[in-house]
Amino acid sequence: MKMKSIVLTKIPPLLLGLLAWFAVSMTAMADKLPDYNAAAGMLKIGKDPERPDAEMFHIAYTLKGADPATRPVTFAFNGGPGASSIYLHLAAIGPKTIVTAGDGSFPSSPARLQENPDSWIRFTDLVFIDPVGTGYSRMLPGPDGKAVDPKPYYGVDADVDSLAGFIRQWLTVNKRWSSPKAIAGESYGGQRVAGLSRVLAEQYGINLNRAVLISPALNVPLLAEPFPPYELLHSVTLLPTQAAIAAHHGKSTIRNDAAGFKTAEDYALTGYLTGLATLGRMNAEEQTAFYAKVGGLIGIDPALVALNRGRVGEALFLNNLLAAEGKVLELYDGTQAGDNPNPGKRDELAASPRSLSILSGVLLPPFMEYLQKDLGYVTERPYTVLNVEISVLWDRKSTLGTPEDLALALTQNTDLKAMVLHGYHDLGATYFVSRYVLEQSVQSPDARKRLSFATYPGGHMFYLLAKSRAESSAAVRSFYESAP
């Protein structure tokens, strides 16, 4: 030991400095994103490929020098319906991301861009798609040169067909048919993923290798409002998220960690479910104990829980958990709270303190500068981040995008693996709904092995938390690189 100590003390200070610089440089090189190509453009689509009637804007990132036969390509989109892909692009998985505090809060405007250390470009090429009516994607002029009504694209079936047609066209134009193929969708985009996983195989000859559902809102008819008094599933799958949010604010009887959340999940499927189902058979003492148990878990006064017979809906919960502080919780991230604009209305959803419209205004300025200066894409056409009209006009009369679609795709395509990512604190698309309906729907033992779940602190956009984004990116990378 003495000999080693003597040798170290004889290293000249200059050499020590060079060694330290080398170590720092190697670490920086390891963290740096790989070299990639970035391109923005349009692809024309239509039911008849020879007579396209719309064009879809997209931005593609491809690794330089990669072998197309082994390099995966992931087609990514958001939801709404009516949302462009800017949210996943600049806040989650793209090579560039907005600078945030990393605590789930929105940055102030104007926001700035930086390299995203957690970008999926490390393990897959990325193609961000804007559906018709969002971003720059629009209908093409008709034969008479006049504008064409885009409403035929505003529906469940037509939307999935248009995305499938785009994917087929992009693979052809870019000579990527031999590549492993994946799709990733957020929120309503999760319903798109479920539908596409089946339609791509059945109608387009495209067998997927990976499917990622991010905070998915699947097509589950039993969870559609209004809820009849005998429907228990909504309340049961809501309770674990309410408990997690209450624990975050120090108002729950469970611990604020994964073990505590598991306690709430177990109770939801046992004591809470049977309690709701047998409430009419309980005596007064049993009912009081039941309401106290539920109230303690979700941080709500047992008297209010009793008034609503054990079912505290989203609006009541969001308005009442921090009512004493004059605060209302954010629907899509219950860790975030703001002043309640209507404190007298505790049974209605208040105006969101962190609405998508605000986030849209945060993302658009840096996106436009990046698009024009870095990618050289300049057009006078306005970029539509969020088209609310589309959601109003959307034709939802379809059974496509259900858990059963994904189950069938997993059963038929043994090369397909699916991963579902959620935030614990999202009341807009709760994690326990996805887990419950998919575990019930995916019945084949082999398919079930190829379906995985991961849940992280945070809300609908859990990736606004730096730690959750890093951990989820690492998990998805392992998911992609694991054996089929």
Pair 322, 433 in one domain = no
Give the Cα separation of 163 and 217 in Å (integer).
18
Contact (Cβ atoms closer than 8 angstroms) between residue 337 and residue 328:
yes
Pair 175, 231 in one domain = no
At residue 106, the pLDDT reads: 84
Question: Model confidence at 7, in pLDDT bands (50, 70, 90)?
Answer: very low
- Which of 279, 312, 339 is the endpoint of a domain? 339
Question: Model confidence at 444, in pLDDT bands (50, 70, 90)?
Answer: very high
**Distance (Å) of CA 166 to CA 47, 159, 396, 442, 450:** 11, 11, 21, 28, 26
**Distance (Å) of CA 480 to CA 214, 444, 477:** 15, 22, 5
Pair 329, 435 in one domain = no
Pair 60, 205 in one domain = yes
Pair 205, 167 in one domain = yes
Pair 235, 261 in one domain = yes
Residue 39 DSSP symbol:
E
Say if 372 falls within a structural domain: no
Say if 312 falls within a structural domain: yes
Structural domain span for residue 26:
2-31
Whether 29 shows a pLDDT value over 70: the answer reads no
Say if 364 falls within a structural domain: no
Q: How many domains does the chain have?
A: 3
At residue 116, the pLDDT reads: 97
At residue 20, the pLDDT reads: 45
Pair 55, 198 in one domain = yes
Pair 75, 149 in one domain = yes
At residue 344, the pLDDT reads: 63
Pair 41, 79 in one domain = yes
Say if 345 falls within a structural domain: no
Say if 352 falls within a structural domain: no
pLDDT per residue as tens digits for the range 235-250: 999 999 999 999 999 9
> How open is the CA angle 410-412-414, to the nearest 5 degrees?
65
At residue 395, the pLDDT reads: 93
Say if 163 falls within a structural domain: yes
Give the Cα separation of 293 and 22 in Å (integer).
58
Pair 214, 245 in one domain = no
DSSP per residue, 196-249: HHHHHHHHH----SEEEEES-----GGGPSSPPTT--HHHHHHHHHHHHHHHHT
Say if 358 falls within a structural domain: no
Pair 153, 135 in one domain = yes
Question: Model confidence at 30, in pLDDT bands (50, 70, 90)?
Answer: low
Contact (Cβ atoms closer than 8 angstroms) between residue 431 and residue 222:
no
Pair 71, 209 in one domain = yes
CATH number at residue 89: 3.40.50.1820
pLDDT per residue as tens digits for the range 419-443: 999 999 999 999 999 999 999 999 9
Three-state DSSP state, 351: coil
